Amino acid sequence: MRQLLSNVQRGQKSPFFIQKFVEAVKEIILKTIGNREDLFLVDFKISGHSGAQKMIVLLDGDKGINIDECAEISRKIGSSIEERDLIKGKYTLEVSSPGLDHPLSSKRQYVKNIGRKLKIKTSGELIKGELLNVSENSIVLKKESKDKKNKDYSEVEIPFDEIEKANVLVSF
């Protein structure tokens, strides 16, 4: 595998080589957080070219994740990458939580945000409301009436496969 990954570093852009490289790094990430059942991988991206690669690892936790935890995990991931000699030259590794601007992407993130206000984009509409429940295949929102004078609420069930984008709304 080392030969395959060093080929990526030399500029070979074969999807097979890139896929193997990404799988190797993702394996390191999952192994690093594997002993922490409360943490999970939200997203992982690699960009750039040999000598200037940037890896972004977005982690979340059932009760959140703090900056010290991110720093410790970053050091462990970086050490493993260097031990396995996966990247030749310089690279940047960024480990953080997704933040409010990053869309929800896993059922576990929805569960974590029960009670918070979400903005859901489906193919047909934009729905805002409080997340009440998360089931295996859908979520339930307490949707506000569009009429500002009438404070009626209705519950709406939205299947996961109809959600194009979901973000937590900031409330002040």
Taking the domains of the chain in order of start, what are their residue ranges?
Answer: 2-96, 107-168
Q: Is the pLDDT of residue 29 over 80?
A: yes
Q: What pLDDT does residue 85 have?
A: 86
Q: What is the DSSP letter of 127?
A: E
pLDDT given for residue 15 in this prediction = 66
Phi, psi of 115 (to 5 degrees): 95, -10
Query: At residue 95, does pLDDT exceed 80?
Result: yes
**Whole-number mean pLDDT of the chain?**
86
DSSP 51: T
Amino acid 27: pLDDT:
95
pLDDT in tens, 124-171: 899 999 999 999 999 999 997 776 676 778 899 999 999 999 999 987
pLDDT given for residue 87 in this prediction: 82
Q: Hey, which CATH number is domain 2-96, 3.30.300.70, 3.40.1160.10, 3.40.50.970, 3.40.1360.10?
A: 3.30.300.70
The pLDDT-based confidence of 14 (bands split at 50, 70, 90) is low
- Could you tell me which CATH number the domain at 107-168 has? 2.30.30.100
Residue with the bigger pLDDT between 144 and 34: it is 34
Nearest CA among 55, 171, 164 for reference residue 120: 164
Q: What is the pLDDT of residue 33?
A: 95
